[in-house]
Structure 1
Amino acid sequence: MKIAVFSAQAYDRRFLEEGRQRHFPGESIELRYFSETLTLQSAALAQDCAAVCVFVNDMLDAAVLEALAAQGVRAILMRCAGFNNLDTAAAARLGLFAAYVPSYSPEAVAEHTLALILTLNRHTHRAFARVREGNFALDGLLGFNLHGKTVGLVGIGKIGLAVARILNGFGCRVLACDPAPVPEFAALGQMATLPELLAASDIVSLHCPLLPATRHLIGHAALAQMKPGAMLVNTSRGALIDTAAVIDALKARTLSALAIDVYEQERELFFFDHSADIIGDDVFQRLLTFPNVLVTGHQGFFTAEAMHEIASTTMQNLRCLLDATPCANRVSGTSN
Structure 2
Amino acid sequence: MSGKKVILITGSDLADVALRMLEDYEPVFTGRQPTEAQLIALCQQHNPVAILVRYGKITASVMDAAPGLKVISKHGSGIDVIDVEAAAARGVMVRAAAGANAAAVSEHTWALILACAKSVIPLDRRLRAGHWDKATHKSLELEGRTLGLIGLGAIGSRVAKIACAFGMKVLAYDPYANTVPPECERVDELKDILMHADVLSLHCPLTQQNKGMINASTLAYCKPGAILVNTARGGLIDDAALAAALRAGTLRWAALDSFSSEPLSTPHVWEEIDNVILSPHVGGVSDASYVKMGTGAAANILQVLQTSSQTETTH
TM-score by length of 1: 0.82
Amino acid across the alignment from 1:259: A
**How many residue pairs align between the two structures?**
301
5+ residue gaps in structure 2? 310-315
Q: 1:304 aligns with which of 287, 304, 314?
A: 287
Q: Give matches, 1:83-232, under 5 Å.
A: 83-131=79-127, 135-138=131-134, 142-185=138-181, 187-192=182-187, 193-232=189-228
Q: Tell me the SS of whatever aligns to 1:174.
A: strand
Is 1:250 the counterpart of 2:251? The answer is no
Q: 1:2 aligns with which of 2, 6, 28?
A: 6
5+ residue gaps in structure 1? 270-278, 327-336
Please name the residue that 1:317 is paired with: 300
Amino acid across the alignment from 2:183: L
Q: 1:59 aligns with which of 57, 60, 66?
A: 57
Q: Is the 8 A contact 2:77 2:98 kept in 1?
A: yes
**What's the offset of the Cα at 1:42?**
0.8
Distance 1:253 1:124 in 2: 18
Distance 2:307 2:240 in 1: 47
Q: 2:42 aligns with which of 25, 42, 45?
A: 45
Alpha-carbon distance change, 306 to 36 in structure 1, aligned in 2, over 3 angstroms: closer
**What's the offset of the Cα at 1:167?**
0.4
Q: 1:236 aligns with which of 232, 242, 252?
A: 232
**Identical positions, percent:** 31
Alpha-carbon distance change, 181 to 88 in structure 1, aligned in 2, over 3 angstroms: closer
**What's the offset of the Cα at 1:78?**
1.6
Please name the residue that 1:19 is paired with: 18
**What's the offset of the Cα at 1:233?**
0.8
TM-score by length of 2: 0.87
**What's the offset of the Cα at 1:82?**
1.4
Alpha-carbon distance change, 75 to 181 in structure 1, aligned in 2, over 3 angstroms: closer
Q: Tell me the SS of whatever aligns to 1:116.
A: helix
**What's the offset of the Cα at 1:321?**
3.0
Q: Is the 8 A contact 1:123 1:141 kept in 2?
A: no
Amino acid across the alignment from 1:53: L
Alpha-carbon distance change, 196 to 178 in structure 1, aligned in 2, over 3 angstroms: same
**Cα deviations by residue, 1:8-31 (Å, 9 ceiling, x for unpaired):** 3xxx43x1x32222x35xx43222
Q: Is the 8 A contact 2:233 2:258 kept in 1?
A: yes
Amino acid across the alignment from 2:8: A
The RMSD of aligned alpha carbons is: 2.2
Alpha-carbon distance change, 238 to 139 in structure 1, aligned in 2, over 3 angstroms: farther
Q: Tell me the SS of whatever aligns to 2:51.
A: strand
Distance 2:99 2:109 in 1: 17
